[in-house]
Homo-oligomer: A and B are copies of this chain.
Amino acid sequence: MSADRFDGLREEVRRNIPSGIDITSIDLEGPLVVIYTKDFDKFSENSNITKVLATQLKKRFEIRPDPKTLGATDEVEEKIRARIPEEAGVTGMFFDYDTGVVTVEAVNPGSIIGKGGQQLNDMKKETGWNVQAVRSPPIPSKTVKEVRGYIRYARDERAEILKRIGRRIARPTYDNGEQYVRMTALGGFRQVGRSATLLMTKESKILIDCGLDPSSDATPYFSVPEIQPLSDLDAVVITHAHMDHCGLLPALFKYGYDGPVYCTPPTRDLMALLQLDSIKLIYGEGKKIPFDAKNVRDEVLHVIPIGYEKTTDISPDVRLTFYNAGHILGSSIAHFNIGNGFHNVAFTGDTKFEKTWLFNQACNKFIRLESIVVESTYGGRNDMQPSRMDASKEMFDLLKQAADSNGKVLIPVFAVGRSQEVMLVIEELMRSGRLPKMPVYLDGMIWEATAIHTAYPEYLNTSLKTQIFQQNENPFLSPIFKRVETAEMREEICHSPDPCIVLATSGMMTGGPVMEYFKEWCDDPNTWLLFVGYQSENSIGRTIQRGRKDISLNDRGKVINLDIKMNIETVDGFSGHSDRKQLMKYISMLEPKPSKIVVGHGEDRKCVDFASSLYQKYRIETKAPLNLETIRLK
């Protein structure tokens, strides 16, 4: 949008707003068109105005009170508190002069909102502020608090960033020249790990995911000319918070990227948590750190969080919509509408096409779709997994066996996703009395990750939401769960003779606290090691899982040799990934049917096999590119 086009937009906005509403200014902020008004209360009364604007002009709008009309915070706080009933349980109140939003954090935000939002509207009218009520996380999350705190702290800088991004999205387009859509595989193709794909159109360059390979620390091919200079990128889109999809993102900011990062709100918080944790982890291993905490803060400041199914302009010719991917909290399928319908492509990220204990199944209905890029972690011919029910049954059998012999169980897990599912299963087994109550220790960020889950209950599956909101039974709050907070406590658990269950990171045993328990317990035949997640080729987890009995480990610079007598078990079916059958079903039930499928995120022959099977079965053109290859989608 050139200056002229932006002026045109302003006029159209004014034309679509009823007379009698005083508009102070209209501006761009990231992908939003922001309207400042002296009559904020009139918008509150007639929320239809914004809907009409969005439909008519195909933009996202945000209405804000003119800062000049905003009353002083202490007075406003008093007025708001006067109207809020005791049972709301207010835990904090935050004022943002730039947006005119006052966020009231409460245990029971419903009683602030009132029936049909009436009370909220009254408060808006009285104070002139845009009053918003949010749920206080039932388990306090340090990450959520810090992320939100930092964004508030650096709000001037963020305002500048958003303004710049807004201008860039609205830049003039090249009107001539042939349109095309291509993608370059920069990492995570014919392999699992370091996911990164560059989407290129005539106008735009967008990076989808920016991961590390956790088993080798390999990074995507960011030295190639396609993605250089990083400052030419329009946007980075993160499908979910696992390190193989976002682990290198802070380094982009270190090396010159200064643009927006689009992801869901839980993805922002989870990835900040995991990235900061990885710094500690890498530091502990004495390896070279690709970024520091400052880069993570930079990243957080550049995130533009977008919920599911909200279409957003992210460049002059690309619109992004996130859909539920069912893989982990906030995980999303990124759908791109390019060139106003010229081409539509979805990147599934990692998906689960089955309702799990945590999430609804991945979305596979889109308004338009011509190409789709899918994962194939379990895309091999024989990659069948038990259902969630069967997996839980098997886990029960193994935990029962351990409990019967007063043994200890160690479960290596990703902090995010598998941990919480396993927690739900164990909590249910102990609550129903099928398994004796014993402590379930959570070590290495799992507690914090769980806290983030409780901060975003709207991203959980339908039954869990009902259980939490309507039955007021939040399984994550069960007293069986104990947080391992200090090295001393870990030491104590390691040496205690009492039976217990430990969930600890990292999930592929490439480091982290799980290794401390493992080193201590591995020569004890009355202990169990339970794998519940994917073990990538070459990871230590995979080696142990395959049955190797002598393992050499690097222990703070020294090599130690371990003789494994521990019971090694694998419970399949807890994966956040679709198995072969679910992958095939996902494609067969996809609406609309795409004309091209690109397969990635799987070991070499699995990618090839899955691509070939899809072609054989559905006669849709498939590609399984190598890293560093570019294919044309249109």
Contacts and interface: CB of A to CB of B under 8 A. Distances in A.
Give the number of copies in the complex.
2
A311 to B, nearest CB: 27
Contacts of A180: 628
Nearest to A223: B177
Contact of A182 (B200, B223, B629, B632): B629
B225 A205 contact: yes
Nearest to A174: B223
A631 interface: yes
Interface string A180-212: 101010000000000000001000010000000
A226 B223 contact: no
A278 interface: no
Interface string A551-581: 0000000000000000000000000000000
Nearest to A232: B225
Contact of A225 (B177, B225, B627, B628): B225
Contacts of A626: 632
A227 interface: yes
A627 B184 CA distance: 14
Contacts of A200: 224-225
Contacts of A232: 225
Interface string A604-634: 0000000000000000000000111111100
A611 B53 CA distance: 53
A16 interface: no
Nearest to A184: B630
A228 interface: yes
Contacts of A226: 224-226
Contacts of A184: 630
A200 B631 CA distance: 16
Interface string A220-242: 00011111100010000000000
Contact of A628 (B177, B228, B628, B632): B632
A232 B180 CA distance: 24
Contacts of A223: 177
A94 to B, nearest CB: 42
Nearest to A202: B223
A53 to B, nearest CB: 35
A295 B369 CA distance: 46
A166 B632 CA distance: 37
A424 to B, nearest CB: 42
A561 to B, nearest CB: 30
Most chain B CB inside 10 Å of its own CB: which residue of A177, A205, A232, A631 = A631
Contact of A629 (B177, B224, B227, B631): B631
A225 B227 CA distance: 7
B628 A629 contact: no
Interface string A395-428: 0000000000000000000000000000000000
The 5 closest A-B pairs by CB, nearest first: A630-B630, A626-B632, A628-B632, A225-B226, A629-B632
Given A225-B232, A226-B226, 6 more contacts: A180-B628, A205-B225, A225-B226, A627-B632, A629-B630, A630-B630
Interface of A: 177, 180, 182, 184, 200, 205, 223-228, 232, 626-632
24 contacts: A177-B223, A180-B628, A182-B628, A182-B629, A184-B630, A200-B224, A200-B225, A205-B225, A224-B226, A225-B225, A225-B226, A225-B227, A225-B228, A225-B232, A226-B226, A626-B632, A627-B632, A628-B630, A628-B632, A629-B629, A629-B630, A629-B631, A629-B632, A630-B630
